[in-house]
A and B are shown apart, each in its own frame.
Chain A
């Protein structure tokens, strides 16, 4: 009998939870705020679904109810992608080591 592709996705999901578990425990506590902002940014990869929804209409009807929700989701996710990565960048740039010559 063939295995349902869902099982493969479930396997990826479960294994990723374990990866996440070990990777996040190794994050240094002083970087927990950047961790939150970067996880925020990467979870906006949901934009992939929004783009599919936005481009689903044919050339005559670009705007139907479904694609409008797609467009809105694209904007929301884009705020997060740019905002999340840039603010993380800004924060990480501030973490400096002690200057030796002091």
Chain B
């Protein structure tokens, strides 16, 4: 059996290893080593916990069995999951962290002696507060992530679900969470504990349903952050440094990602959370839409344009993920490169359904990461490029964001696609993007619309090159 001090040191070590795991992600070269540090930290934390309890009887076997069941399921999912489903996977995983935080809190509430927190009905006040916070945040993370998962998976409609009195209702529930936590701490009543859990599940559900599909990058990052705070809350209850450090790391990581995503859309965090993007003045732009002429072309025209170009910039978006076009795209780019055409990729921060979504898909298709650029790095290059190939992106290329202060996306950083000599826009129809507004780019003199499925069109172009 390990002494309390020694195990605390080991928990500290695993906390430090987790910091190194995140540090490794500063560049792809060091990232694999970082992931190894993370695994090591986890192995240390788990082993030390077993050793410090020192109970290797039947209970230990049962624990191992449950651990292995979970581990096998996790490993199976990790190997089977297609890269395009990564946002759903991450949302699903968040829900599990949330739920396990809730379960640990319940276990601690029912059997506080095991955690040195006092006795049932007489739990130390500080621990009870920490436990309630951990449980409530965990429950919100769980139900919120489930909704995010359903929306991303397409089981639930991605469009915002709003109803009258939504915001007052949410505010009321949030206040009642605080009140119930206060009452719970003063009465130690287990009924209140269950009520607290139920309304926390409810608020997580209500908070996410009004948020639409393309705002999912913010939601996933936010839930990531919540799962961290939940872990930290439980960490305080268990007086465990590894858990406190990790919770703080994950919490701030998710918060920063949400901030980056909001900035990528030029919207405040509250604006996203309160839901309903573009729902306001959709009808205004609706009228003068149909009259404007559009140039449309086929794979042959596109191939001709690209063959005569000396540099091509590719702008991928969520549509590429939906059509699973990343491999076809890579083949097209290979052909272009054989013809000595310079190709690079431009990624908007909110392209796709989660932070870095496009980068992962391109990496999966064997696109070298030093050909892929972020918005700030590449935006000046559009003026010198011959062809911009927009595949599955829409709002992030809309020049209206720079010109029309009335537009809901005004001020959002966009890729300066229109500055290219010619623009090829692969899209299934002229329908507006998520923001519900028309894209001026469609009607520009130098734009050629390619109406087709992204994957099929890319394959056809490759054939014609």
Contacts and interface: CB of A to CB of B under 8 A. Distances in A.
Interface of A: 5-6, 9, 12-14, 16-17, 19-21, 23-57, 59, 62, 64-67, 69-99
A16 to B, nearest CB: 3
B108 A49 contact: yes
A66 B38 contact: no
Given A20-B248, A71-B62, A82 B70 contact: yes
A42 B250 contact: yes
B244 A13 contact: yes
B270 interface: no
Give the dominant DSSP class at B's interface: helix
Given A33-B90, A69-B107, 20 more contacts: A12-B241, A13-B232, A17-B248, A17-B252, A25-B256, A30-B356, A31-B25, A33-B354, A36-B356, A43-B231, A45-B242, A46-B235, A48-B240, A50-B103, A56-B111, A66-B110, A70-B107, A80-B74, A87-B78, A94-B83
| Minimum-distance CB pairs A-B, first 9 | A78-B70, A32-B356, A56-B114, A83-B74, A82-B74, A16-B248, A53-B107, A66-B111, A20-B252
Contacts of B349: 29
B368 interface: yes
A46 B245 contact: no
A96 B359 CA distance: 12
19 contacts: A12-B248, A16-B247, A23-B22, A29-B347, A31-B25, A31-B28, A33-B360, A36-B257, A38-B22, A45-B18, A48-B243, A66-B107, A72-B66, A80-B100, A81-B70, A83-B77, A87-B77, A89-B35, A92-B31
Contacts of A39: 22, 224, 228, 249-250, 253-254
B71 interface: yes
Contacts of A25: 256
Contact of B250 (A31, A43, A86, A87): A43
Interface stretch (B178-186, B287-295, B369-377, B412-420): B369-377
B262 interface: no
B35 A85 contact: yes
Interface in B27-65: 27-28, 31-32, 34-35, 38-39, 41-42, 45-46, 49-50, 53, 55, 57-60, 62-63
Interface in B347-406: 347, 349, 354-357, 359-360, 363-364, 366, 368-372, 374
A28 B359 CA distance: 11
Contacts of A14: 248
B93 A13 contact: no
Contacts of A40: 90, 93-94, 97, 224, 227, 250
Contacts of B239: 5, 9
Nearest to A68: B107
Interface string B119-144: 00000001000000000000000000
A98 B370 CA distance: 7
B284 interface: no
A28 B28 contact: yes
B315 to A, nearest CB: 15
Interface in B140-154: none
B67 A74 contact: yes
A61 B81 CA distance: 39
A81 B79 contact: no
Nearest to B29: A97
A37 B88 CA distance: 11
A47 B100 contact: yes
B46 A91 contact: no
Contact of A35 (B107, B227, B253): B253
A45 B103 contact: no
A31 B126 CA distance: 38
Given A9-B244, A71-B66, A95 B224 contact: no
